[in-house]
Structure 1
Amino acid sequence: MASYHQFLGFALLTLAGVWSPGQCLHDVRISVPRHVLRGRSARLACHYQLGEERLYSVKWYKGRHEFYRYTPSEQPSKKAFPPLGNHVDLKQSTATHVTLINADDSLTGQYICEVSADAPSFNTFVVTDSMDVVDAPRQRPHLSGLRTRYRPGDILNVNCTAGASRPPASLTFIVNDAQLDERSVRPLPALEEGLSGLNRSRLALLLPVTASLAPRVRVRCVASIGAVYWQSAEKSAAVVAPGQHRQQPPHEGAAAGSGDWTGLDSGSDDDSDDADADAELEEQSEGRQHLLHGRGHHQHSVVAAAATAAPADVRHAGELPTVQTGESTGATGGQLCAGSWWPLLATSVQLPMLLAAALT
């Protein structure tokens, strides 16, 4: 009976080793910039853990077309395939990264990274994510409708219009350093820029003026597209509480960012001089454009579930992987090595025979 228990313990340990996910290709993750500025470069990453397996290949697809392949057993180990391969910088691409240069509309879309382990398992994972090429606005946002002074009880009715871009920029209002919630703002229909495909997003501010805003109300509009574009514009106006005399500004046309009065006049509140005022009111710290690339990008990775595929070299270049994928929101976990089914099968066949021998 002692030999039976010893055999049973050995069999369980063997099965535990076969099912250990750390021995197989696992934890495959993709990282693709959500946005990239037109003409710039983008670095796409595909990370993985091989465990005790060897790497057979890493393949990158956009849609159904393969454009980059890394195969360590071949020379050269790095290959690019047209038409998208014309954007691949082979010198800056590796087993875990591919660098795309001169971004244009052809780079917008869904990307697939396929990682395959070597024989005998040819264990394969497929992960996906998407990227958009951005046409950033060439002008900072434009504020219109702000009067020169207000009294408590008046309504701030200000519009903000972003520069033409694709996709349309996101707009946010900030009043006296406080970001406003959706109850005080109202989206307006975007303005199309002819046949260019560019749009100017718009946002309206409707805010009751209170004495707490005195002596000045500062209205700032921030336009942004992901992590690659950020720009703002600011104007200010006097808030005169009941019984308070209007002060004379230090000088007409002072910049809003300096804390001085803007140009206060007794004329109408139209926007005929907005263009000149905007040039005077631009802040060096607030009216700048941030063009960030290659770091700090907000990523939305969608990771596909693992499956076992045939050896990668049975497909022609550019053929979409046949792995059936199911989307989830996290990195893929370990899977049973395909090659490990053989010792498991052998154990399952021999187990009854060994048990019978041990009992006799």
Structure 2
Amino acid sequence: MAAEFVATVFLALLALLHTVCGLKLLMLRVPSQKLRAHDVTLKCMYDLENSTLYSIQWYKDGSMFYRFVPADEPPGQMFPLPGVSVDLQHSSDSQVTLRLLDLESSGTYRCEVSSEAPKFLTEVAEAYMNIMALPKDAPKITGMRLKYNEGDPINLNCTSSPSKPVAVLTWFINGNQVDNSDISQRRVSTLSDAHFYT
């Protein structure tokens, strides 16, 4: 009778342990903003809690671009995707490194962690990363005359080179910021074929 009770308690504890122990996704690190032409390392930290890792899969906007399966040889594999260039040498089960980001790299990145049999658990986390592009050149001022008399109107044009997001231009005269009421603004905010604002 006592042996049956001990066996029952042991099985109950075993069942409880099986229920409690499971896969946990601890942290997803995806920067909200990065500069064009830079590299970035995305991190996906997890705790298997006595489970065995089956795979790590990374997606951008719903399309898989990197998979890590310990049982495969090699375990890390990349899949072609516009805007995503995986550095396999610096990618693993817990991180993936992307090289030379471009404007097409903007999007929602998702990490999917799956455990092996018999549990077959899956945890998912995602975050959005926006790629920015700074103007390549300084703003250009046109329309300036060599000489002005007191009271003459000043009509100048200041143009920024392409960027994303669109550049904010501020006028200064002799170090003093010009009041916005004295400025006529004309902003072209249409996205060009190169994904730049001009």
Q: How does 1:30-69 map to 2 (within 5 A)?
A: 30-69=28-67
Q: Work out whether 1:75 is the aligned partner of 2:73.
A: yes
Shift of the 190–91 alpha-carbon distance from structure 1 to 2, 3 Å rule, reads farther
Q: CA deviation at 1:41?
A: 1.0
CA RMSD, Structure 1 to Structure 2 (Å): 3.7
Contact 2:54 2:70 in 1 (8 A): yes
Contact 2:25 2:123 in 1 (8 A): no
SS in 1 for 2:187: strand
Q: Distance in 1 between matches of 2:27 and 2:165?
A: 27
Q: Match of 1:191?
A: 187
Q: Partner amino acid for 2:78?
A: A
Q: Match of 2:96?
A: 98
TM-score by length of 2: 0.67
Q: Match of 2:120?
A: 122
Identity in percent: 34
Q: Distance in 2 between matches of 1:57 and 1:10?
A: 32
Q: CA deviation at 1:29?
A: 2.4
Q: Deviations over 1:279-330 (max 9, x none)?
A: xxxxxxxxxxxxxxxxxxxxxxxxxxxxxxxxxxxxxxxxxxxxxxxxxxxx
Q: Partner amino acid for 1:17?
A: L
SS in 1 for 2:38: coil
Q: Work out whether 1:17 is the aligned partner of 2:17.
A: yes
TM-score by length of 1: 0.39
SS in 2 for 1:52: coil
Q: Distance in 1 between matches of 2:94 and 2:26?
A: 11
Q: How does 1:293-312 map to 2 (within 5 A)?
A: none
Contact 1:57 1:69 in 2 (8 A): yes
Larger Rg: 1
Q: Match of 1:135?
A: 133
Q: CA deviation at 1:86?
A: 6.1
Bigger fraction of residues in helix: 1
Q: CA deviation at 1:18?
A: 2.8
Which of the pair has the greater relative contact order for Cα pairs under 8 Å at 6+ separation? Answer: 1
Q: CA deviation at 1:169?
A: 5.9
SS in 2 for 1:112: strand
Q: Partner amino acid for 1:64?
A: G
Gaps of 5+ in 2: 141-157, 170-179
SS in 2 for 1:192: coil
Q: Match of 1:89?
A: 87
Q: Distance in 1 between matches of 2:109 and 2:73?
A: 25
Q: Partner amino acid for 1:13?
A: L
Contact 2:25 2:113 in 1 (8 A): no
Q: Distance in 2 between matches of 1:119 and 1:16?
A: 18
Gaps of 5+ in 1: 143-160, 172-184, 200-360
Q: Partner amino acid for 2:101?
A: A
Q: CA deviation at 1:17?
A: 1.9
Contact 2:166 2:189 in 1 (8 A): no
